[in-house]
Structure 1
Amino acid sequence: MTDRLRGGLVALCIAETTSWGLLYYSLPVAVAPISEDTGWSHTAITAALSVGLLVSAIAGIRVGRILDTQGPRTVMTLGALIGVLSLVLVAWSPNLPMFYLAWLLAGFAQSAVLYPPAFAVITRWYGPQRVVPLTTLTLVAGLASTIFAPIVAYLIDQVGWRTSYLIMAGILAAVTVPLHAFFLNSSWTDNITHSAHGSKAHVRAITRTPRFVILQITMALATFTLFAVTINIIPVLLERGISYSTAALTLGLIGAGQVIGRIGYSRLARSTAAHTRTALIFGLGANGLWLLAYVPGPAALLIAIAVLLGAVRGCHTLLQATAVSDRWGTQNFGTINGVFTAPMTAVGALAPVSGPALASVLGSYSAMAVVMAVILTVAALSSMRS
């Protein structure tokens, strides 16, 4: 594609890794120190991130339209700057409402700098050859928690959480702002952009079809079920008598499973049709959830199942990135994908707290996993129509 800039993919990989590390993973790492210092509950602090992600889901629709019509440089650079401001406000927050306001602002930044806009840019740059660079991006950015969780923890241990967030704001400014400003297109120069009226008609013609809606719902259900269980894998395994250290190790191995899934996705994409690939990945995820719900042990088998679910999650990320373009092409991709991914972002924000809440109502994490397995099984069967 003539619009692809030299060094753009490398720049996006670095920017995505940094943005995910500081605008998403930093808060889970900082929850306990913030709670200890302020007296705010862990739930209240974590919910601030969920609020931001809900804002991101809504704002992402508008960001997608801007990406299609104006190019990525301005909107993604502005998003990075808003992210810097939000982290400064996190550091300054004198009370819980201001803390929430800071993460609400971070939600606007997330909508402009996390995966959906980056996927839109790569899809525009690479067209039919998009799968390999998308895989590269998600493999590199998938290391965000591995890289930044220890850094954030170290900073907080050394200088406290407020000063740490000021330092994080500086890192975000120094890394992501120039990368977006210098390595992204100021505007598109190819012939894909169409008139506003034609673009709106084309978007409506796709987003209002039953096929699109069914796919959107099934993808959101898969996001919800996989996140709700894997994010809470530690209490799931503790309930089976697995030690805390082994359960914590398993959580890390789920990340390794995601890498395996993303590496294997390219081969799967070449050998299967879009709807078959979707149903296969969802089916594997549903089987993993059924096994996790009913297999009592041993620990090695449970860990293997968790890694399988991690691989499914890794495939799911790339499935989300390519679902629209595989079925409807790349015209107005940013706009259509912004609409498509909004429910996934929203349920991804709710899944971490929904798992424990449902387990509490049902009496066990195994029962919660059964419910999630049923939902994902239904999604797998429904995806055959999409």
Structure 2
Amino acid sequence: MSGRAVAARRSPGPVARLAALSVGQVVSWGILYYGLIVAAPAVAADTGWGLPVVMLCFSAGLVASAAAGIVVGRWLDDRGPRLVMTLGSLVGASGLAMAAAATTVPGFAAAWVVVGLGQSAVLYQAAFTLLTRRHGDAQGGGARRRAMTVVTLAGGLASTAFAPLTAALLGVLDWRTTLLVLAVVLVAFTTPLHWWSLERSWPAREASGEHAPPPSVAAVLRTRRFWMLEVAMIAVAAALYMVTLAAIPLLTEKGLTYELAAWGLGLLGAGQVAGRLLYVALPRAASPWVPLATTAGLAAIVLALLSLVPGPPWLLIAIGVAAGAVRGAQTLVQGSAVVERWGPRGYGALNGAFAAPITAVTALGPALGPLLAVATGSYAAMGLLAAGLALVALALARWS
């Protein structure tokens, strides 16, 4: 038996590969994204830097992730996922260790930029590139869509698993030790998963049956279709994130207690999981603009309702859950947008360029809602402005 045949027998099957990637997403999101969100108040209280400053450092990491995603996407296209995603876990853990040792705001911000570099190689954008290349146009894209849905359903459990874990660690350890423990957990779980389960390299184009060259990123960036898609996706993402991340002040403005509004925010997050199932049911017409138009239209409706409906509390929370579901579906619509228009070849590089501005805008999501609420006079008025943005996305979707 040849060495290649032996390696093929030892390599994990498709179900095991998908399960490993899903577990990796839970751990990576739980530590590299939600870890600081939970720990931020403890960081601010201990250092005296202030919570807004700590969260700005977090946003700086997300912006760095967006920028690095362009290069990481090209690496994933050219070199395969095993080395890139394994190194991403190690870089992310190194950033956590740097943050734990930081004694100044610039040092903490620099550490979180390093975390952002790790995020770019292990979170959804990298996973979507991997799944797109792995499945290509198999079964008309159905296999790819199902795999993306499974991975994001798993990723949706990250906050459920790691927010309580991080809070429990903070109850017995200081925040610096907590970040170090999370860094160790990240390395211990994700590096062997990535190294064991991911493809070392992609098959040659001839061997895989892919004879057409990948589309030129520069050529696609010069098309009107790309920019209609880009602006529409930025508009709907900004609309959904600015309202859903400001759910607590929006609901308390309508008379809900803080505790009940916090429950509303938690249930909104649960709605995202349902929304990822909704994605599977979105219309699959010949024109790929239909899923984008559907999510933009639904976003406009639920955001307007969330702004205009005065109560009762159960109805406001139900509308919030619906908004979370639309946001969950939008994540997958964004992940599929490039491949459904330009095919799987060269997806990593092109999707990196496409996703970077969207990621940068959503990184500012925690600040966008409050800033616009101050500018417009209320969170309800901010929500109506967000609904208008979603309508802009709906109008542009037809030309994407």
Is TM (by shorter chain) over 0.5?
yes
Corresponding position: 1:147 with 2:161: yes
Give, in angstroms, the shift of residue 111 of structure 1.
Answer: 0.7
Q: Helix, strand or coil: the match of 1:188?
A: coil
Query: What amino acid maps onto 1:125 in structure 2?
Result: R
- Contact 1:274-1:326 at 8 Å conserved across structures: yes
The equivalent residue for 2:303 is: 289
Matches within 5 A, 1:299-318: 299-318=313-332
Give, in angstroms, the shift of residue 273 of structure 1.
Answer: 4.1
- Contact 2:264-2:320 at 8 Å conserved across structures: yes
Instruction: Indicate which of 17, 21, 43 corresponds to 1:12.
Output: 21
Q: Distance in 1 between matches of 2:259 and 2:173?
A: 28
Q: Distance in 2 between matches of 1:269 and 1:37?
A: 50
Q: Helix, strand or coil: the match of 2:345?
A: coil
Q: Distance in 2 between matches of 1:35 and 1:360?
A: 24
Query: What amino acid maps onto 2:114 in structure 1?
Result: L
Corresponding position: 1:24 with 2:33: yes
Give, in angstroms, the shift of residue 278 of structure 1.
Answer: 1.1
Give CA-to-partner distance per residue, 1:232-282, whole Å, 9 cap, x none.
100000000011121111111112211111112112254674212211110
Instruction: Indicate which of 87, 100, 104 corresponds to 1:95.
Output: 104
Give CA-to-partner distance per residue, 1:363-383, whole Å, 9 cap, x none.
211111111111111111111
Q: TM-score, normalised by structure 2?
A: 0.92
Corresponding position: 1:119 with 2:128: yes
Query: What amino acid maps onto 2:385 in structure 1?
Result: V
Instruction: Indicate which of 203, 210, 217 corresponds to 1:189.
Output: 203
The equivalent residue for 2:260 is: 246
Q: Distance in 2 between matches of 1:153 and 1:369?
A: 31
Corresponding position: 1:44 with 2:53: yes
- Contact 1:225-1:351 at 8 Å conserved across structures: no
Give CA-to-partner distance per residue, 1:270-321, whole Å, 9 cap, x none.
4674212211110010111111111111112111111111110011011011
Instruction: Indicate which of 58, 70, 94 corresponds to 1:61.
Output: 70
Q: Distance in 1 between matches of 2:285 and 2:276?
A: 15
Q: Distance in 1 between matches of 2:368 and 2:391?
A: 19
Question: Gaps (5+ residues) in structure 2?
Answer: 1-7
Give, in angstroms, the shift of residue 11 of structure 1.
Answer: 1.1
The equivalent residue for 1:156 is: 170
Q: Helix, strand or coil: the match of 2:310?
A: coil
Give CA-to-partner distance per residue, 1:34-84, whole Å, 9 cap, x none.
111111110000011100011111110000111111111111111111011
Give, in angstroms, the shift of residue 328 of structure 1.
Answer: 1.4
Give, in angstroms, the shift of residue 351 of structure 1.
Answer: 1.2
Query: What amino acid maps onto 2:147 in structure 1?
Result: P
The equivalent residue for 2:344 is: 330
The equivalent residue for 1:378 is: 392
- In structure 2, do the counterparts of structure 1 residues 70 and 269 end up closer, same or farther at CA, with 3 Å as the change threshold? farther
- Contact 1:5-1:185 at 8 Å conserved across structures: no
Instruction: Indicate which of 80, 92, 97 corresponds to 2:89.
Output: 80
Q: Distance in 2 between matches of 1:71 and 1:60?
A: 15
The equivalent residue for 1:226 is: 240
Give CA-to-partner distance per residue, 1:321-358, whole Å, 9 cap, x none.
11111111111111111111111110010111111111
Give CA-to-partner distance per residue, 1:135-172, whole Å, 9 cap, x none.
00000111101100000011011011111111001000
Q: Helix, strand or coil: the match of 1:297?
A: coil
Query: What amino acid maps onto 2:329 in structure 1?
Result: C
- Contact 1:226-1:309 at 8 Å conserved across structures: yes
Q: Distance in 1 between matches of 2:315 and 2:326?
A: 17
Q: TM-score, normalised by structure 1?
A: 0.95
Identity of aligned residues (%): 45
Query: What amino acid maps onto 2:158 in structure 1?
Result: A
Q: Helix, strand or coil: the match of 1:130?
A: helix
Which stretch of the first structure deviates more once superposed, 356-365 or 171-180?
A: 356-365
- In structure 2, do the counterparts of structure 1 residues 259 and 271 end up closer, same or farther at CA, with 3 Å as the change threshold? farther
Q: Distance in 1 between matches of 2:280 and 2:329?
A: 9
Q: Helix, strand or coil: the match of 2:311?
A: coil
Corresponding position: 1:35 with 2:44: yes
- Aligned CA-pair RMSD: 1.9
Q: Distance in 2 between matches of 1:150 and 1:11?
A: 23
Q: Distance in 1 between matches of 2:287 and 2:193?
A: 35
Give, in angstroms, the shift of residue 206 of structure 1.
Answer: 2.1
The equivalent residue for 1:71 is: 80
- Contact 2:22-2:155 at 8 Å conserved across structures: yes
